[in-house]
Amino acid sequence: MSAEPSYDLATGRGLIACPSCDALHLREEMAPGETARCIRCGHVLAKPREGAFGQLIALAFTSMVLLIGAVFFPFLEVSTLGFGNASSLFDVALAFADGVLLPLVVAVLAMIIGLPIARAFLLVYTLVPLAQGRPPHRHAATAFRWSEALRPWSMAEIFVIGTAVALVKVAGLASVHLGPAFWAFCALIFVNVASRSFMCRTSIWDAIEQSGQSVDDRDPEGPPAEAQRPANLADPQAGA
């Protein structure tokens, strides 16, 4: 008599799809420190860490503090012929508040400041109950899904690179001094890199699912498990 399979192709129960090559793997319990990789392309499918939820919460709060400081602290100071002027991003927004460039300023501030703060808040909303061993909030699955959708639009790195390129040209015309806000953006880049290294999206989805919440379409980077072909089934531990 054959044993009942531990997965369901109709609902995706017990399966995990590689977001890179769409290979379908059997889901297995993993201990902290283990790494599951796709046997086809080597993409990391899961990498649980001990205390990762608390570390992610701390990094999310750090990014919010850095972003708030980056708005109000001086970003740079330009001086020439004995005259100087220091300005922050908030001062720039006020300078164009009544002009035709107002929509552009709002869009830039939303991409640079608003979206990263919103994503950090969504992560905190999702992870705080999980880190404390309590059931997640009612809309934790939706909040985490939105935080993942906003991740590619957090453009602090692009802003820093664009500012550095512009300063190279301005430096030939005047003396430029970088303010605390610029270095806050640079620190934010390292905070984001650390957050990505600590995050295991599979572990977060599993923790939400174990509380009884629905996590349909769980991975925004790849198709749902039921869209995969049974021929792709593989054991993720083979790539660990």
pLDDT tens track of the chain, all 240 residues?
Answer: 344 457 666 666 777 878 778 788 777 777 777 788 888 888 887 777 777 888 899 999 998 898 888 888 887 777 766 666 667 777 777 767 777 777 877 877 777 788 888 889 999 999 998 888 888 888 888 898 898 888 877 767 777 777 777 777 666 666 777 788 888 888 888 888 888 888 888 788 878 877 766 665 544 444 443 333 334 445 544 454
Q: How many angstroms separate the CA atoms of 116 and 184, rounded?
A: 13
Question: E strands, the chain, where?
Answer: 15-17, 24-26, 36-37, 44-46, 76-80, 83-87, 175-178
Surface-to-core class of residue 33, CB atoms within 10 Å of its CB (0-12 exposed, 13-18 middle, 19+ buried): exposed
3 state SS of 234: strand
129 is written with which tokens?
A: 């109950």
Q: How many angstroms separate the CA atoms of 33 and 52, rounded?
A: 11
Q: pTM, whole model, 2 decimals? A: 0.70
- Tell me the residue length of the chain: 240
Q: What angle do CA 139, 141, 146 make, to 5 degrees?
A: 95
